[in-house]
Structure 1
Amino acid sequence: MLWYHIVFLSIIQGLTEFIPVSSSAHLILPSQLLGWPDQGLAFDVAVHVGTLIAVIGYFRRDIIRLLSAWLLSIRSSTTTNDSKLAWWVIISTIPAVIMGYFLNDFIESHLRSIEVIAYTTIGFGILLWLSDIYASKAKTEYEMTLSNVVFIGAAQALALIPGTSRSGVTITAARYLGFSRNASARFSFLLSIPLIVAAGTYKLMELISSGINIHWGVIFAGVVLSAISAYVCIYVFLKWLNQIGFAPFLFYRLLLGGILLGISYLNV
């Protein structure tokens, strides 16, 4: 990759990992539309590490509190709101891990086309907007039940399809169930941590077994740039979410999806 490919893709990964517009779609599109070389497995691992650093850094106090409560619940069977939330994050991760393990190769081979990305970008954008304006909006993440987190976890599994957006579909599910915008976003961000770890570990194992030559300068740049852009994105998103809502993301997804459909049909 050229230097501007590295900079652009790293920043795009960081900016789109946590807002409801699909990071996987934005990483696929430059090679599809601009003829850029595929960024490759090593770079995918790097930007995953970068976004993981960002979300752990931003939620470090929450993570320490939840992890401490979770460990205490294991040792002494003491249940608190924090230990319960930690268990909910773990349980919600399971469906996506299972689906990713069994369907990853199929998705990579059949669902990475511009047309698929266009339809999922539009469809799931509309669902997010509808769930935001019509659902009740009062509950916090500490009011989640087992059935709630299973539902959100099942929704997260759909994000394996490019264009869906992991954060978008989990926020959509949480809003549909009546959780506030802030609670939905915070739970989605916490939910990203084990999934990014799982996805990054899987890609790292692939990388090790592939024997690919690693360009460490590219890796370092990918980690740093994606971490910075992701941290800024999380901060701004949570700060302004209640004021701006999800309508801007709907408009962006409709515009992007429409452009992609036009390109897809022109190429037929």
Structure 2
Amino acid sequence: MLAGDVATSPALMPQAPEPLRLGDAALLGALHGPTELLPISSSGHTTLISELAGLNYAKAPSQQRKPLEIALHAGTAAALLLFPPAEGCGGPRGLKGLAFRGAMLAPTAVAGLAGRNRVRDQLGTTATISAGLLAGSVAMVTADRSRGTRTATDASIVDGLAIGGLQALAIWPGVSRSAMAITAARWLGFSRGASARLSRSGLVATSLAAASLEGVQLAREGIPRQDLPALAVAAAGGFVSAVVARPMATRMEMGAPLWPWALWRTALATVTVLRIRATGDDGHR
């Protein structure tokens, strides 16, 4: 056999990755809406549930994972556009509201542009995501002991920067953007309901910004054509599940405590850690 024949032998050519399964995409879409609206980490659940359930997404290469993540964010963000604006639910209004949301978004955008991929590569294992879930749980429970009474209309640019600064920690998968936003607002003296409304006031912008940022990068790299059906299913699932989860988010805006969500995060992290100890697989890829 000639050297040239060896180089082009089908047996030696790189194998195309297995297409993402539609059932996996549907499950992740069903998870994404609630986990994005609630302070429990959508990125953490996407990775950990995939690992625990044995979905092929868990072992998929980054060129397949990124498009699915973007589809999930896009579907959820589209659903959020249907919800009543935060201003109509007691959030800051007019120019003050725009200034607050801009200040809240700025630190998150800077953190995402500066180190999102690097942080995700280093802290994206099941072990580190579990640590992020636990750290966020402690912060949430500690902050929720505050007896703050400030209303959402009191929020200023300084408050927005402070909330956005802590929210930027959510580039660590498992920490949760909404968990950090609510935690920061509680530490700043806002009531439970006001903190949840302030968190939602930046949710649409943050979700759209995240999807756009990764979408630009993805456009340069290309989308695997065999995964287009799964991406459509994931986006549709993210949209529907966000609409269905809306009542739970509304309950938080009415002043529900944070401890049930902290307990859920802790339970998921504990199950994951036990699995790591049993299998020795920390999900590092």
TM over 0.5: yes
- Deviation (angstroms), 1:171: 0.5
Matched, 1:235 2:247: yes
Tell me what 2:55 maps to.
36
Choose from 23, 26, 43 the match for 1:7: 26
- Deviation (angstroms), 1:62: 4.0
Q: Is the 8 A contact 2:86 2:201 kept in 1?
A: no
Q: Is the 8 A contact 2:70 2:214 kept in 1?
A: yes
Q: Following the alignment from structure 1 to structure 2, what is the Cα–Cα distance between the partners of residues 143 and 219?
A: 41
- Deviation (angstroms), 1:41: 2.3
Judging changes above 3 Å, is the alpha-carbon distance between structure 1 residues 165 and 182 closer, same or farther for their aligned structure 2 residues?
Answer: same
Tell me what 1:120 maps to.
132
Q: Is the 8 A contact 2:48 2:272 kept in 1?
A: no
Q: Give the TM-score, by structure 1 length.
A: 0.86
Q: Deviations over 1:161-220 (max 9, x none)?
A: 011011111101111111122211111112112211211111111221112234443333
Give the gaps of 5 or more residues in structure 2.
Answer: 1-19, 58-63, 281-285
Aligned pairs for 1:125-144 (under 5 A) are 125-133=137-145, 135-144=146-155
- Deviation (angstroms), 1:128: 0.6
Most deviating of 253-262 and 168-177: 253-262
Matched, 1:167 2:178: yes
RMSD over equivalenced CA pairs, Å: 2.3
Q: Is the 8 A contact 1:182 1:238 kept in 2?
A: no
Larger radius of gyration: 2
Q: Following the alignment from structure 1 to structure 2, what is the Cα–Cα distance between the partners of residues 197 and 139?
A: 28
1:206 maps to a residue whose letter is Q
Q: Is the 8 A contact 1:55 1:189 kept in 2?
A: no
Judging changes above 3 Å, is the alpha-carbon distance between structure 1 residues 138 and 60 closer, same or farther for their aligned structure 2 residues?
Answer: closer
- Deviation (angstroms), 1:246: 1.4
Give the gaps of 5 or more residues in structure 1.
Answer: 67-79
- Deviation (angstroms), 1:43: 1.8
- Paired residues in the alignment total 253
Q: Following the alignment from structure 1 to structure 2, what is the Cα–Cα distance between the partners of residues 190 and 51?
A: 15
Choose from 177, 182, 192 the match for 2:193: 182
Matched, 1:94 2:106: yes
Q: Following the alignment from structure 1 to structure 2, what is the Cα–Cα distance between the partners of residues 110 and 202?
A: 20
Seq. identity, %: 25
Tell me what 1:25 maps to.
44
Which runs of at least 4 in structure 1 moved beyond 6 Å after TM superposition? none
Judging changes above 3 Å, is the alpha-carbon distance between structure 1 residues 184 and 61 closer, same or farther for their aligned structure 2 residues?
Answer: closer
Q: Give the TM-score, by structure 2 length.
A: 0.81
